[in-house]
Structure 1
Amino acid sequence: MARWEPNTRERLVRAALDLFVEQGYDATTVQQIADRVGLTKMTFFRHFPDKREVLFAGQETHARALTEAILAAPAGATPLEAVRAGLKGLASLFTDTHRAMSAQLRTVIAANAELLERAAFKRAILVQAATAALGERGVREPAAGLAAELGISAFYRAFDQWAERPGEEMLADLTRQALDELLATAAGLVSDSRPVDGSSTAPLTA
Structure 2
Amino acid sequence: MSRWPSNPRGRLQQAAMELFTEHGYDQTTVAGIAERAGLTERTFFRHFSDKREVLFFGGEQLEAMMVAALRSAPPEATPLGAIEAALSAVTEFFDERHPLSQARQVIIDAHPELQEREGAKMDRIAGALTEALRARGVPDPDARLTADAGIAVFRSAFAQWVRSDVGDMSACIEECLATLEKVIEQGR
Tell me the TM-score normalised to structure 1 length: 0.84
Task: Tell me how far 1:160 sits from its aligned partner.
Answer: 1.8
Unmatched tracts of structure 1, length 5 or more: 192-206
| Identity value in percent | 41
Task: Tell me how far 1:10 sits from its aligned partner.
Answer: 2.2
Distance of 2:179 and 2:11 partners within structure 1: 37
Task: Tell me how far 1:6 sits from its aligned partner.
Answer: 8.2
**CA 1:87–1:8 in structure 2 vs 1: closer, same or farther (change >3 Å)?**
same
Alignment of 1:70-85 (within 5 A): 70-85=70-85
Give deviations 1:30-83, integer Å, cap 9, x for gaps: 011111111111111111011111110111111111100000000111001100
Opposite residue 44 of structure 2, the aligned amino acid is F
Distance of 2:39 and 2:142 partners within structure 1: 48
Distance of 1:58 and 1:141 partners within structure 2: 29
Aligned-pair Cα RMSD in Å: 1.6
1:178 is aligned to 176
Distance of 1:68 and 1:118 partners within structure 2: 23
Task: Tell me how far 1:131 sits from its aligned partner.
Answer: 0.8
Task: Tell me how far 1:172 sits from its aligned partner.
Answer: 1.9
- Which sits farther off after the overlay, 52-61 or 5-14? 5-14
Task: Tell me how far 1:141 sits from its aligned partner.
Answer: 1.3
Indicate yes or no: 2:12 matched with 1:47. no
Unmatched tracts of structure 2, length 5 or more: none
Larger radius of gyration: 1
Deviation >6 Å, runs of 4+: none
Distance of 2:172 and 2:6 partners within structure 1: 27
Alignment of 1:59-138 (within 5 A): 59-96=59-96, 98-138=97-137
Distance of 1:186 and 1:105 partners within structure 2: 33
Task: Tell me how far 1:144 sits from its aligned partner.
Answer: 1.0
- Give the aligned length: 184
1:30 is aligned to 30
Task: Tell me how far 1:28 sits from its aligned partner.
Answer: 0.8
